[in-house]
Amino acid sequence: MRSRLFTKAAVVSAVLAASVFSQTASISGTVSDLTSHDPINGAQVILREGSSGGGGGGRVWTPVDTVTVGQSGGYAFAALAAGTYQVAASADRYQSSTTQVTLTDAQASITNITLAAALSGTLHVYVGKLADSAAIVGATVTARTGGSSATPLIGLSAANGWVTFADASTATYTITASANGYAIGTVQTTLDAAESDTARVYLGVAASDAKVVKGTVKTATGTAIRALVVLTAGTGGTRITLTDSTDNTGAYLISSIPATYTSVRVRASAVGFASSEEQATLSTDTTTVDFVPASQATLVRQAARPSPQIVGSTAALVVSADGRVLRTSHDALTSHRVVLVRKAGTAHVQQVTR
């Protein structure tokens, strides 16, 4: 009896030892830009394990783990059993890449991944009135891809109702258009490689319960300031952006805010003044947000911030990837509307005459 118990214990120990030993393999490496070789911060790496049983004798790939790459670009999957795996890497503005790795017991595989920049095309968006299709001037157009972390493209419609996003990544875009006095409109379109795609958004009259944010931008002595006021609300796919420029009295008014939004962020930017920002709670139909920005020779120092890229011969307004004004000109706030096209790490700017 003692001998039989000893044999069973030995078998169990051997099985456990084999199991532990067989799960000591690992896959690690870096995710970097194919051209610059810089690490891609924020890239997502998915590990899938292969098993037999697919149709036609193929493999079935089951997700095992997911990691998000940090600033160093490194990733690691530990305590893996011997077998065949797929390592799939993806990142905003890059083409995805999948690598197959076969592991033996206790093997440490170094699998470095490089991602090529996404192919690009041109996206044209028209914003018009639902009633008669006439162009809406100055509508804010936001084109988003993927999850909420993806950097959106943002622009203002010109006098003919159009806004163009050049060098847009090939992807499926959710396009949102908003303008004072109109309800928000949304459409979806897919941009293929080297394609010029067109999307149209028609806006109806704002709902009767839409909320309004108004106010003034003035100096401490009460002098009116010509400023650009940008209102944002919501997050991810529900995020909206509305804009207005102050008049000769320094007043602005932003309407068409859906009643479902209870909190907004309002930012005022002007030549020669520091940008000012307020978080406002919309407790009533009309909320007043006044600004008294401090005079400042240099609005924002550009050190350690994404370098802006100017599109066109004249820079009207330069905005960083997170929406902060880096540089502007007097004409941008008096006789021109500004088209902002945000891209990862840069801000593309176009000037459109009213």
Cβ-based neighbour number of residue 101 at 10 Å: 20
At 201-237, the pLDDT tens digits run: 999 988 888 889 999 999 999 999 999 898 888 866 6
Instruction: Give dist(CA 330, CA 104) in Å, integer.
Output: 66
- Single-letter amino acid, residue 113: I
Amino acid 146: pLDDT: 65
* 291 DSSP assignment: B
- Single-letter amino acid, residue 327: R
For residue 328, the cross-strand partners are: 317
Cβ-based neighbour number of residue 178 at 10 Å: 27
Cβ-based neighbour number of residue 91 at 10 Å: 22
For residue 50, the cross-strand partners are: 61
- The mean per-residue pLDDT over the stretch 75-82 comes to 92
Query: Which phi and psi angles does 281 have, rounded to 5°?
Result: -100, 125
Record the pTM.
0.48
Amino acid 101: pLDDT: 94
Query: Which phi and psi angles does 12 have, rounded to 5°?
Result: -60, -45
Based on C-alpha coordinates, what's the Rg of the chain?
A: 27
Amino acid 309: pLDDT: 37
Name the nearest CA neighbour of 246 among 274, 269, 225: 225
At 138-168, the pLDDT tens digits run: 888 988 876 545 677 888 899 999 999 887 8
Q: Which two tokens stand for residue 230?
A: 């940008």
The domains located in the chain, with CATH, are 24-115 (2.60.40.10), 120-353 (2.60.40.1120)
Amino acid 349: pLDDT: 38
- The mean per-residue pLDDT over the stretch 41-48 comes to 92
Instruction: Give dist(CA 192, CA 171) in Å, integer.
Output: 7
Instruction: Give dist(CA 244, CA 231) in Å, integer.
Output: 9
Name the nearest CA neighbour of 224 among 277, 290, 136: 290
Q: Are the C-beta atoms of residues 165 and 189 closer than 8 Å to each other?
A: no
* DSSP-based three-state secondary structure for 173: strand
Amino acid 22: pLDDT: 59
